[in-house]
Amino acid sequence: MSAFVTTVPLRWTDQDAYRHVNHARIVTLIEEARVALAFTGAGEEGLTGFASGLLVAGLHVDYRRQLPWRADPLRVEITVRDLRAASFTLDYVLRDGPGGDDAVAVTAWTSMALYDLGANRPRRITEGERDFLKRHLGAVS
């Protein structure tokens, strides 16, 4: 079991007047990493259910250091915890650069709920989705 690892690019407009990546943009970078896991990563394995209804039920962000704009992408490591019948939590580590040894700049978590948009109600995690998520159980540094 290991973290899902992806990179997210920084855009010039991600920085604010203080010359660091703005809080709202950090949340967007977390979203882009989550999309890479749930839509792209799972989709490559034929799992399309996340793309048809996955809601953020909670969000928490801790800032460890400022992130100035740079041309290099940021490395994001995502692990899964609290895997339940219809929900799970994703833990994120955003590093200050593309490498696994780069300093941790941001840690965050999102509580995720699977949702049937047509029926307008939560749905259970399928066996395939559960197997995919189990591969990413664990703690990141």
Distance of alpha carbon 28 from alpha carbon 22, whole angstroms: 10
Q: Is the pTM of this model over 0.75?
A: yes
Report pLDDT for 6: 97
User: Are the CB atoms for 89 and 110 separated by under 8 Å?
Assistant: yes
Distance of alpha carbon 118 from alpha carbon 120, whole angstroms: 5
Question: What's the pLDDT band for 140 if we cut at 50, 70, 90?
Answer: low
Number of domains in the chain: 1
Cα 140 to Cα 11, 107, 115, distances in angstroms: 26, 10, 27
Quote the domain boundaries for residue 58. Answer: 4-134
Among residues 138, 123, 127, the alpha carbon closest in space to that of 1 is found at: 138
**Apex 132 CA angle, 50 and 105, nearest 5:** 80
Q: Looking at the domain assignment, is residue 10 inside a domain? A: yes
Report pLDDT for 141: 47
Q: Looking at the domain assignment, is residue 36 inside a domain? A: yes
Q: Looking at the domain assignment, is residue 126 inside a domain? A: yes
45-102 per-position pLDDT tens digit: 999 999 889 999 999 999 999 998 889 999 999 999 999 999 999 999 999 999 999 9
108-128 per-position pLDDT tens digit: 999 999 999 999 999 999 999
Q: Looking at the domain assignment, is residue 27 inside a domain? A: yes
Length of the chain: 141
Q: Looking at the domain assignment, is residue 32 inside a domain? A: yes
Q: At 87, which CATH number?
A: 3.10.129.10
